[in-house]
Amino acid sequence: MSQLNYTLESKRNKHLTIRERYQIEILTKENMIPFEIAKRLGRHLRTIQRELKKGMVDLLNTNLTYRPAYCADAGQRIYQENAQYKGPKLKIGNDHKLAAHIEKKIVKDNYSPDAVIGEIKAKGLSFKTSICTKTLYNYIDQGLFATLSNKDLPVKKDKKKTKYKKVRIPHKNLKGTSIEDRPSSIDDRSEYGHWEMDCVVGKQGGSGATLLVLSERRSREEIIYKMQNKTQECVIKVLDTLENKYGKKFIEKFKTITVDNGSEFLDFKGLERSIKSPEQQRVKVYYAHPYSSWERGTNENSNKLIRRFIPKGTDMGKMSQAMIKRIETWMNNYPRKIFGYKSAQEMAC
């Protein structure tokens, strides 16, 4: 007998190769039966029988009739198509409740995938299955959700963390207090009441309406007000409104405010002066270095969240105060990874 029949290593649980399929095609043309082909290739008889059935095609004869024959290319194509579905079953496959929850949170509530998974764990929400953030991103990439795709994600891909360097450009406001003079104890974010303030501008050439955004450094609490214009007078008017709203508690809630060198913030006396007692200071204002947005990192991250609802180029004048307050409420209830997926409202309590 041929050595080929008895010295081949066992190929159990190994798939047929493209080379073996071509061998099968040649042997079938020589009218070799499946048993003999299996013996020649060192394969199980059922393996050859299944392969012949899978790769069977109808070939056209010269007299325009068809004959059944095995085609190696057809067998390889079907094998590759079936291979796409190999692997474990999807964990989320039968948990329609979890899939619907994820779609709602990301598509309608503008959550990130990590915030969705983190909130489920933090609040102890119960579903049939549980998945991690990485798995959820993979499922979204594979297009497994009915109404959710990569287009719905607030951040499309991870970006490398930018390395910032301090720049020592003189302040435009020479009379204002520099951030260099701000107490170092504020940097560790251990005390409530230290805020950062910035403006989110609308469409150029629009109504001129602007959002004034205040972000508390420890809890990430947000306060958003709509201003008719991006002017010093409008900013001071908002602070006056807040002072009237909180009364004596204003100096406890607003200990310091850090701003950039925008023209709307340059009147530090007007920002710091109390409307109830003009000779007294209601809050201490510090100015960050020019071109150093990282010194107000909380503010900048908050502005990104706002842009999920208000894309650049939006005319702020067409937005109602009720809509702005809904955004503010959403931000204050958004689960934050830095707090173990607790919200700013929970941290401020």
pLDDT tens digits, residue range 278-295?
889 999 999 999 888 899
Statement: residue 254 has pLDDT above 60 = yes
Band of residue 1 on the pLDDT scale cut at 50, 70, 90:
very low
Q: Which residue has the tokens 């079938």?
A: 28
Backbone angles phi, psi at 177, to 5 degrees: -85, 125
**What domains can be seen in the chain, in order of their start residue?**
3-83 (no CATH), 96-152 (no CATH), 177-348 (3.30.420.10)
- Which ranges constitute the DSSP H helices of 247-313? 250-253, 268-272, 297-306
Q: What percentage of the chain has pLDDT greater than the value 90?
A: 69
- The mean pLDDT value for 251-269 works out to 94
The model's pLDDT over 149-201, given as tens digits with 9 standing for 90+, comes to 988 888 755 555 666 555 555 455 557 899 999 999 999 999 999 999 999 99
3-state secondary structure of 92: coil
User: How far apart (Å, rounded) are the C-alpha atoms in residues 151 and 198?
Assistant: 28
User: How far apart (Å, rounded) are the C-alpha atoms in residues 167 and 290?
Assistant: 8
The model's pLDDT over 29-86, given as tens digits with 9 standing for 90+, comes to 999 999 999 999 999 999 999 999 999 999 888 888 998 999 999 999 999 888 876 7
Distance of alpha carbon 243 from its chain centroid, rounded?
A: 36
- Which ranges constitute the DSSP H helices of the chain? 18-29, 34-41, 45-54, 72-83, 96-103, 113-123, 133-141, 232-246, 250-253, 268-272, 297-306, 321-332, 344-348
The model's pLDDT over 14-27, given as tens digits with 9 standing for 90+, comes to 889 999 999 999 99
3-state secondary structure of 320: coil
Statement: residue 110 has pLDDT above 80 = yes
| 116, 136, 142, 309 from 149: Cα distances, Å | 15, 11, 9, 18
Q: Which residue has the higher pLDDT, 208 or 177?
A: 177
Taken as a whole, the chain contains a residue count of 349
Please name which of 133, 135, 132, 125 lies closest in space to residue 101, comparing C-alpha atoms: 125
Q: Which residue has the higher pLDDT, 161 or 261?
A: 261
Q: Are 238 and 212 in contact (CB under 8 A)?
A: yes
One-letter amino acid for residue 297 of the chain: G
The model's pLDDT over 122-163, given as tens digits with 9 standing for 90+, comes to 999 999 999 999 999 999 998 889 899 988 888 755 555 666
User: How far apart (Å, rounded) are the C-alpha atoms in residues 300 and 201?
Assistant: 13
Band of residue 12 on the pLDDT scale cut at 50, 70, 90:
low
